[in-house]
Amino acid sequence: MDYIQYEFFTREEALRDFLIALLPEVGFDGFEEVPDAVRAFIPGPAVRQEDILELLQQNGLDHISYQTSVITQQNWNEQWEKSFQPLTIGGSVSIRAPFHEPQPAAYELIIEPKMSFGTGHHATTALMIEQMLDTDLQGKDVVDFGSGTGVLAILAEKLGARHIVAIDNEEWAVANCRENIERNNVSRIKVIHADTMSVVSEQYDVMLANINRNVIMKNLGSWRTFIRPGGVIVVSGILVTDTKDVTDLATGLGCSVIRQLTRDGWVSISFQA
């Protein structure tokens, strides 16, 4: 499947962050931030120009120009292979691709991202990993909503979770997640292709949701019902400027803030249900 690259031009860092937070609403699922632009990627058939223009206009961004180009499956893989470097997060989680040499760390994750989101390089994923390192997952039931590559679900098992459900609404992300699960020799993760939590009936001790502000605001009330009393909801994909909106909603639902981490204009928040 070919992807379309949209390059949105702006030298303002805050606007680049805003674009990355907004564009998933119309189907974009991969991003690369460069000094003068945001490169956003979307499956070829999945976007309408009028939807993009409407999104920009509604959010006061219609002054931003953009250009498009086609990235074939082969070129896409070449692109991330050239740019994806091993990294260590929190001093104990190493993330590398299969073609990298092993990296010494307490927890090593081998991730081949292909077109899925989640290598740890973006601040939102790194913040989720840091939150998980400070969350007791031993023997817990965990759900990872919007699982992408499966990086968080895989780490959850390595941190001792007894049962993990990984949910994503993209078929290729689900396939990629399953490949990465096999690659990391983990066995307690169930992968589901869905766009809501309605596909499960059980409750969980911990929910992970590295998505975006609008999805979180729209679904937090229903997600709350899937968490056991005293459980934890960890969210990311939120701009620092949207922190109050998310925390106000969560506290209104009876949750309390456990921990808040920020990086590069992004915030991740852990709530106790």
Report all structural domains of the chain as residue ranges with CATH numbers, in order of start.
3-79 (3.30.70), 84-272 (3.40.50.150)
Range scoring the smallest mean pLDDT among 22-31, 49-58, 124-133, 207-216: 22-31
Q: 121 falls in which pLDDT band (50, 70, 90)?
A: confident
Handedness of CA 151, 4, 267, 123 (dihedral sign): positive
State whether residue 71 is helix, strand or coil: strand
Helix runs in the chain, H state only: 13-22, 49-58, 73-83, 123-133, 151-158, 171-183, 213-224, 243-252
pLDDT tens digits along 236-270: 988 888 899 999 999 999 999 999 999 888 899 99
Please say if the pLDDT value at position 115 is more than 80: no
Pairing of strands 141-145, 163-168: parallel
pLDDT tens digits along 177-205: 999 999 999 999 999 999 999 999 999 99
Beta carbons of 97 and 112 less than 8 angstroms apart: yes
Specify the pLDDT at position 86.
86
Rounded CA-CA distance 35/225 in Å is: 42
For the entire predicted model, the pTM comes to 0.79
What spatial distance separates the first Cα and last Cα of the chain, rounded to whole Å? 41
CA dist 110 to 23, 118, 123, 156, 183, Å? 28, 12, 19, 14, 7
Listing DSSP states for 181-209 in one string gives HHHTT--SEEEEE-SSGGG--S-EEEEEE
Pairing of strands 227-239, 266-272: antiparallel
